[in-house]
Structure 1
């Protein structure tokens, strides 16, 4: 990678975006921003009540993440965002051309176990089905890489950085 990328760590809830994102940022030598911090309070209240967000809820959140990513262009950074739909990723790319995506993927049972084990998070396990139903994996024409979330966080982060570097070196 010639210049540090702006990486959006994406995937359904429970894939480890908040755990893997900072590790990837550290390995790339760039700052990390927690995507959940960009949510308006109304979104957090809705999810805390077990109600899935709709697109109207997500647009302001994605726009805030896009502004952060745009400001990091040429400097690099890593930010988490579920970015489940192609339209969401298109919106992020429109705000920050050149952004790349790291799609954390994994077995649903493993993800559900991890979600159930975490403490103090507003996203209940009950919303996992809606996340999987909404998910549109990265297309072949989208910059980025998919990485399985089995193994230790350190192993996942190492595989992620390797996959991102391969992706950057591949012809478009």
Structure 2
């Protein structure tokens, strides 16, 4: 049938900095073929500099960024492309803006102890978000409400286990192996 749009899925991997959002979202993308995006790449240079200086963003800074993310998901939906987005999405209000994009957005909350995540942040190199902003993120975090479509996974598991659990719990189909693909993705 012409003109019929194939159904899409739009998943936001959420949580505080250091929870493993990007690693898990990329892993899910590799297994499923969902189009990956890193929300950090949508920040303006001024906002990156502000965070690099240890100054948290305020809501006035965040609203245009969140709307840009919702617009990106909506555009992919219009193309018939499913997405997976690594984005903190710490507050219900932020998630509400993301839900203004495609018809349905699901969340995968990577949650865990503050001690474990602080330890991970201490080992992380090459990221503009300093560990000093962790406490402000923890204070901002609002867990998923019962009416929000989503899954919560504990970050104490390995990244591979988190990816496998996410694919299973979200009911995501694995991508078709590409002929000649030697990456081992089909064996995961």
| TM-score, length-scaled by structure 2 | 0.84
Equivalence for 1:97: 103
Structure 1 stretches (4+) deviating beyond 4 angstroms?
Answer: none
Q: 1:150 aligns with which of 151, 156, 165?
A: 156
Aligned length: 165
Distance 1:100 1:32 in 2: 14
The secondary structure found in structure 2 opposite 1:63 is helix
Distance 1:131 1:96 in 2: 26
Equivalence for 2:31: 27
Equivalence for 2:68: 64
Displacement, 1:71?
A: 1.5
Distance 1:10 1:134 in 2: 13
Say which structure is richer in helix. 1
The secondary structure found in structure 1 opposite 2:100 is helix
Confirm or deny that 1:41 pairs with 2:15.
Answer: no
Equivalence for 2:87: 81
Distance 2:103 2:55 in 1: 32
- Contact 2:35/2:81, CA 8 A, preserved across alignment: no
Distance 1:132 1:79 in 2: 20
Q: 1:161 aligns with which of 141, 146, 167?
A: 167
Runs of 5+ unmatched residues, structure 2: 1-5, 173-188
Equivalence for 1:119: 125
| TM-score, length-scaled by structure 1 | 0.91
Runs of 5+ unmatched residues, structure 1: 167-172
Displacement, 1:4?
A: 4.2
Displacement, 1:62?
A: 0.6
Distance 1:75 1:95 in 2: 14
Distance 1:44 1:121 in 2: 10
Displacement, 1:15?
A: 0.3
Distance 2:116 2:7 in 1: 35
RMSD between superposed Cα atoms in Å: 1.5
Distance 1:8 1:151 in 2: 19
Distance 1:146 1:4 in 2: 21
Distance 2:148 2:75 in 1: 21
